[in-house]
Structure 1
Amino acid sequence: MALRLCCALTAAVAGAASALSVSSAAGANDLRAAKIQQLATQIKNEPRVLPVGGVNYPLYDGPMWAPGSLTTQIQQQELAAISNFRRASNTKAVQLAAKWAKDFDTLEDYTAFYDDVSGLIEKPLAADNSDVAFGAQRLAIKGFIMRAVNSDEFLKKPHRQSKKWIAQQDLSLHDDQIAQVCGAGVTRANIREQKKLFVSEYDQVSQYNDAKQPQKFVADVLGFFCFNSDKQQLLPVEIRLLQTGLAYTPFDTEEEWSLAKMALEAAEISYQNMQHMAETHAMTIPIRVEAYRTMSDEHPVFALLMRHVYADFALEALSAKMLLNVSTEVDKTFGWGASGAIRFLDYQMKNDNVYVTLENDFLSDIKRRGLEHIPTHKYVTYGKKYWDAFDHFVKEYMHAYYPKEEALVGDVELQNWAAACAKVSHLRGFPAKFESRDQLRKLMVHLIFQSAFKHHTMNGASSWHGVAMPYSVPALWKALPTKKVTKGEKLNLIEWAIPKELVPTQVLSPALFYRAIPVTETLLDAYRSAKFADEPLLFGAMREFETSVRKIDAELAQLESNVTQEWPSQLYRPAQLSYYTWI
């Protein structure tokens, strides 16, 4: 029975031709209800653990992976499908890393590797260690915690070296130095008022370091950036290492400043790797489970949801096996190791102060973080285009099946789904009941945006672009200096770089996420399955959506071909984004 149900589910997700329809108490369909009830016995959200090195770590609630279960069958079917999208050239790049790494004796040897394999795989943005590229990454593929500094923050007078004081103090630069980095007329006194100062706070990340692997670590760090209006660039202005109480700026020695940026990169890469999982997979997997348990595959909301959360089950299985386990790429190269990564994920799912909530949608998030004050912010600028396209499509979609609010309020399956999801403890912000089309629309647009856009800016090809030896890797490999260098002294940065015997592993980790995307899997073809294409009610909405994403594709292709771009890339075109979470 489980196998037949699984096959039926797969057909539904892939696009069976049955008509979509909502449910109501008045028009109850006993056979439809019986199928839902039967499926509910096959899958459910449960408390889970993930074993790593003989220790069971709590994992967010979701479906059990028991052999022969419906969950496992769906996983295997999805794994078989996405395994077709690998790049053979990535494997070749890893093989060359293994062959050449033994001869890496200088920082230049590490960076030259990416030039040498650029014919096989695109050179990552992070291979450029300049301040301009460092800031540009925070506008596109990093910076998902970065926010504007408020007028009443970080105002204490700069002090002698002090671990406690440094986290709260004002910028340590003089006004003339601030103006050199941040633009003419910008001073300590007015930089907040002008909304030009931003901070990335990774002041609690060291607690997740793997105590069993003390040779590598992530440091607690604050990174300050300013937007230079004259240059239209976001630039790093100060980086504070909290364990040592030292603040570094572009006016320190080149080696000291590079080490500070390495520390911020290690924290940011570690955070983002697991935060993307918290915001997408860990939310959509239990939502998907409750959809299986409460809605028919003929339900329009079920069909729309499944289109965009496809492959989440497979990706969770891959993560547990290939990333969050002993001796994996994460365990070997991340300061947190596999155990720390899981502990971080558990914290994010259980605490209310981390913004992992269904109410923190794209528009709320960029407003809360003050990102509208950076006019060149690609994630914001391009994200608004996608948000508007998704929002318009979902609005038309909801009106097609719910011509009146009463139809939505009386939709038994939909309301059962809401009630069930609201009971899953970490699905913060999921409404226990849908009162209006706008409320449902907002939730669905958020889920689609997270799966089809934000996920890809945090993970996937962006993972490859955000990690590059020796400066941008998820760990430091030597204890941080406890004092600034004196005249004549010089840091040897290669001592903090990843050991050369781990170079192939470090290359493999982000390369796993860099995959070929057939057009059939992209946003250009998002709704060209029979499930949607055969629905007369959707013809107009689908046509408008396809027109809008093709317009976005053309606009971004033109914008990103501009040679004046700091980092021109086709990464965020609809033709390069899958309509589901992909990897």
Structure 2
Amino acid sequence: MSALYFLLLATASASPVPDIQDEVQLLRERQENNNVSSLLPYSLPSDGPDVVRATDITTKQLTFTYGPPVGVGPYYPAGVLGTTYATTDGAIDNSELAAQVVIMRGDDSKARLDSAKYNGLKTLDDYTKLYDDEWQPSSQPTGQYDGILTNYTQDLLFSMERLSFNPYAVRRLNPSSDSMPFDVDDAIVTKITGQTLESLFTSGRLFYVDHTVQGRLPKRPPPQYAPACDALFYICPTSGDFLPLAIRSGVADLVYTPEDTPDDWLLAKIMFNVNDFFMAQFDHFSRNHFVAEIVYEAAVRTLSDDHPVLAVLKRLLYGAFGIRPLALVILIRPDGDIDQYFGNSGTAAAQFANETYFNGSAGALRSNYFLTNLEKRGLINSPVGPALKSFPFYEDGMPIYNAIKDFTTTFISSYYSSDAAITADKELQAWVKEANGPAGVIDFPPTNTRSDLACLLAEIARLVSFSHHAVNLNQLITVAATLPFHPTALYKPIPDAKNVTDVASYLPPLDKALGFIGVAANFARPLLANTNRSLINMFDDPIMLNRMNSATRAANEKFKSAMTARSEVVRNRKFDADGLSQGMPFVWQALDPGVAAWSLTI
């Protein structure tokens, strides 16, 4: 373990939970540098020369520079001011982590004292006992989501996980532009679906997830193993349900289907989940953290600190620069948490995150806008095939996105009287030029209208909030990393033949199981729930709002009201008469705005 990690643990075990809000307030005050202009209203640049603003920007460009990446990703802040930003953010993130480590260590100690009840994890049911009166109400006040520990053998649960807490991997196959990824025996397909594979394909009912790239990534040595799965899903012609059809393990050309033995099919789904969890976590580095960070770096260097747009970005990117150093120290480094618990190595995670960022699949900004990305993958408004019967990520994300967009639209319209004012804003256009030039932002959008700018800010807000928290934060310990269905590695070689009879023997031993639950608990942020750090309060910064105009302050109140109402809907979600919630056999509450945070501090 690194010195920093030990320091965090020592602080957590020896000190009370730090008062994060007070510490952060002091850090913010230092970062303001007692600038007199910080007392004045935010304003757009004037048409003529403004020596004060020009000097401010020039000073920032000299002292906030693009340094090399910290392990992975795009440029990282350097220079005197850049280092100040990074140090401030690091203190924020370390404080939040230290507070959570206090909680985790207490829960971990209790869980280990209760080890007798786990029965040596000999059966799948034994793994569910790892959560029986453990880790709650402290690390995870809600406990595991209803159904996730009892209904995990259901195919509908497995498939709907692709449309809820990891929605970025699945895409619909378009018969006019795609080919069949792999063959499945037509007699088996017809028995399962009532149609041939070709019929499902040509009717736009077939979906694909490809994790085969993980097969070429650096692996951990035995006893940890990672497959390289890909899988086909389909919309059932009779029920309309989204269901799994086949999983290919990447070993011996084995293709599993629901027609295999229950143990073989369950193991196939678990193998897929090993790959899917890896993809979700290290794709999110690229998709959320890297994209938002580099856009913000370009903004800091080109917008005056008196510019209202930079003020909103500062709020949204609170603590953002502290994550990459923390991830490098705790997760990615040799013998870090990835090496300890995953089948792929920390080196593999860094390589995967870099590749998905720089090839644009996760790192492109405009082409991965919320609705654009979902449409591109055929998940909404598809030109082929029927619509998805239920799409929880979209259903829960859209009300948040609409509320964010309402705020940014009002905010931008209140400062810019016309589209011409957008193009006339020399600082704003310098940001666009900087992003497309020295910063190297991938696919930064044209920003010539009020709508362009409102959309851009809404997308940054989305990246740091609900798009991030669908795959991270509290939902790791509540659903995405729960055992026995979601291990991060197998502990026996990937089988090269079917007829497995002991699925539990492929799962982590007790020490590894408890260790990774502790890692998942460290990502939870129960202390932020129902505070100013919850998503309800995304724009509710008194320091910022005091310098904003009245329309922006009113827009914040409207946003808070909408998110408070939305929180009530999500937190009170239950199973319906059919034993389903949002069409799933588990209750998903990750995007409760009263619980989820609004920032990238984890």
Alignment TM-score, normalising by the size of structure 2: 0.83
Query: How far is the alpha carbon of 1:253 from its aligned partner?
Result: 1.2
The separation in 1 between residues aligned to 2:230 and 2:411, in whole angstroms, is: 44
Residue aligned with 1:200, SS: strand
Query: How far is the alpha carbon of 1:137 from its aligned partner?
Result: 1.7
Which of the residues 35, 38, 42 maps onto 1:20? Answer: 42
> Which residue does 1:358 correspond to in 2?
366
> Which residue does 2:21 correspond to in 1?
none
Task: State which drifts further: 525-534 or 443-452.
Answer: 525-534
The separation in 2 between residues aligned to 1:374 and 1:171, in whole angstroms, is: 25
> Which residue does 1:117 correspond to in 2?
134
The separation in 2 between residues aligned to 1:78 and 1:418, in whole angstroms, is: 29
Which of the residues 182, 185, 188 maps onto 1:174? Answer: 188
Query: How far is the alpha carbon of 1:215 from its aligned partner?
Result: 3.4
Task: State which drifts further: 256-265 or 526-535.
Answer: 526-535
> Which residue does 2:152 correspond to in 1?
129
The separation in 1 between residues aligned to 2:62 and 2:70, in whole angstroms, is: 21
The separation in 1 between residues aligned to 2:428 and 2:173, in whole angstroms, is: 41
Query: How far is the alpha carbon of 1:274 from its aligned partner?
Result: 0.6
Which of the residues 454, 458, 461 maps onto 2:474? Answer: 461
Please say if residues 87 and 322 of structure 2, whose CA atoms lie closer than 8 Å, have aligned partners that are also in contact.
Answer: no
Which of the residues 482, 501, 504 maps onto 1:491? Answer: 501
Query: How far is the alpha carbon of 1:523 from its aligned partner?
Result: 2.4
Please say if residues 140 and 378 of structure 1, whose CA atoms lie closer than 8 Å, have aligned partners that are also in contact.
Answer: yes
The separation in 1 between residues aligned to 2:182 and 2:534, in whole angstroms, is: 45
> Which residue does 2:287 correspond to in 1?
279
Query: How far is the alpha carbon of 1:186 from its aligned partner?
Result: 4.8
What amino acid does structure 2 have at the position aligned with 1:527? F
Task: State which drifts further: 378-387 or 532-541.
Answer: 532-541
Query: How far is the alpha carbon of 1:502 from its aligned partner?
Result: 1.7
Residues 574, 561 of structure 1: CA spacing in aligned structure 2 closer, same or farther, 3 A cutoff? farther
The separation in 2 between residues aligned to 1:23 and 1:554, in whole angstroms, is: 41
Asked if 1:36 corresponds to 2:57, the answer is yes
What amino acid does structure 1 have at the position aligned with 2:225? F
> What per-residue deviation string (whole Å, max 9, x for no partner) do you get for residues 257-278 of structure 1?
1111111101100011111110
Please say if residues 294 and 439 of structure 2, whose CA atoms lie closer than 8 Å, have aligned partners that are also in contact.
Answer: no
Asked if 1:525 corresponds to 2:549, the answer is no
> What per-residue deviation string (whole Å, max 9, x for no partner) do you get for residues 5-32 of structure 1?
974535899x965311111442x33122
> Which residue does 1:302 correspond to in 2?
310
> What per-residue deviation string (whole Å, max 9, x for no partner) do you get for residues 192-244 of structure 1?
3554322111121121233x625323222112222347656432221112232
Residue aligned with 1:45, SS: strand
Q: What is the percentage of aligned positions where both structures have the same residue?
A: 20
> What per-residue deviation string (whole Å, max 9, x for no partner) do you get for residues 332-355 of structure 1?
111222111011111122214556
Please say if residues 224 and 342 of structure 2, whose CA atoms lie closer than 8 Å, have aligned partners that are also in contact.
Answer: yes
Task: State which drifts further: 526-535 or 304-313.
Answer: 526-535
> What per-residue deviation string (whole Å, max 9, x for no partner) do you get for residues 311-339 of structure 1?
11122222121111122221211122211
Query: How far is the alpha carbon of 1:582 from its aligned partner?
Result: 3.6
The separation in 2 between residues aligned to 1:153 and 1:420, in whole angstroms, is: 36
> Which residue does 1:315 correspond to in 2?
323
> Which residue does 1:206 correspond to in 2?
215
Residue aligned with 2:42, SS: coil
Which of the residues 499, 518, 523 maps onto 1:513? Answer: 523
What amino acid does structure 2 have at the position aligned with 1:477? Y
Which of the residues 367, 374, 377 maps onto 2:391? Answer: 377
Query: How far is the alpha carbon of 1:374 from its aligned partner?
Result: 1.3
Query: How far is the alpha carbon of 1:68 from its aligned partner?
Result: 10
What amino acid does structure 1 have at the position aligned with 2:450? R
Residues 82, 16 of structure 1: CA spacing in aligned structure 2 closer, same or farther, 3 A cutoff? farther
> Which residue does 1:103 correspond to in 2?
120
Query: How far is the alpha carbon of 1:304 from its aligned partner?
Result: 1.1
Query: How far is the alpha carbon of 1:286 from its aligned partner?
Result: 2.0
Task: State which drifts further: 383-392 or 231-240.
Answer: 231-240
> What per-residue deviation string (whole Å, max 9, x for no partner) do you get for residues 439-489 of structure 1?
22221111111111100001111222201233311222222222223xxxx
The separation in 2 between residues aligned to 1:30 and 1:153, in whole angstroms, is: 55
Q: Show structure 2 runs of 5+ residues with no match.
A: 1-25, 381-386
Task: State which drifts further: 38-47 or 89-98.
Answer: 89-98
Residues 10, 234 of structure 1: CA spacing in aligned structure 2 closer, same or farther, 3 A cutoff? farther
Please say if residues 119 and 126 of structure 2, whose CA atoms lie closer than 8 Å, have aligned partners that are also in contact.
Answer: no
Residues 282, 571 of structure 1: CA spacing in aligned structure 2 closer, same or farther, 3 A cutoff? same
The separation in 2 between residues aligned to 1:493 and 1:364, in whole angstroms, is: 40
Asked if 1:581 corresponds to 2:600, the answer is yes
Which of the residues 265, 277, 294 maps onto 1:269? Answer: 277
> Which residue does 1:53 correspond to in 2?
none
Task: State which drifts further: 58-67 or 501-510.
Answer: 58-67
Asked if 1:570 corresponds to 2:589, the answer is yes
Please say if residues 6 and 73 of structure 1, whose CA atoms lie closer than 8 Å, have aligned partners that are also in contact.
Answer: no
> Which residue does 2:463 correspond to in 1?
450
Alignment TM-score, normalising by the size of structure 1: 0.86
Residue aligned with 2:594, SS: helix
Q: Show structure 1 runs of 5+ residues with no match.
A: 51-57, 157-166, 180-184
Q: How large is the Cα RMSD of the aligned pairs?
A: 3.1
Aligned counterparts, 1:208-227, within 5 A: 208-210=217-219, 213-227=221-235
Residues 96, 217 of structure 1: CA spacing in aligned structure 2 closer, same or farther, 3 A cutoff? same
Which of the residues 449, 453, 457 maps onto 1:436? Answer: 449
> Which residue does 1:288 correspond to in 2?
296
Query: How far is the alpha carbon of 1:282 from its aligned partner?
Result: 0.9
The separation in 1 between residues aligned to 2:326 and 2:62, in whole angstroms, is: 25
Query: How far is the alpha carbon of 1:246 from its aligned partner?
Result: 0.7
Query: How far is the alpha carbon of 1:378 from its aligned partner?
Result: 0.7
Aligned counterparts, 1:47-86, within 5 A: 47-48=68-69, 50=71, 59-64=73-78, 69-79=83-93, 82-83=96-97, 86=100
Residues 110, 426 of structure 1: CA spacing in aligned structure 2 closer, same or farther, 3 A cutoff? farther
What amino acid does structure 1 have at the position aligned with 2:64? I
The separation in 2 between residues aligned to 1:12 and 1:266, in whole angstroms, is: 50
Residue aligned with 1:359, SS: helix
Residues 323, 16 of structure 1: CA spacing in aligned structure 2 closer, same or farther, 3 A cutoff? farther
> What per-residue deviation string (whole Å, max 9, x for no partner) do you get for residues 59-112 of structure 1?
432224999932443234423553475275533332244442793333332222
What amino acid does structure 2 have at the position aligned with 1:377? F
> What per-residue deviation string (whole Å, max 9, x for no partner) do you get for residues 115-168 of structure 1?
241644312565442223212322210232101122268877xxxxxxxxxx43
Please say if residues 322 and 601 of structure 2, whose CA atoms lie closer than 8 Å, have aligned partners that are also in contact.
Answer: no
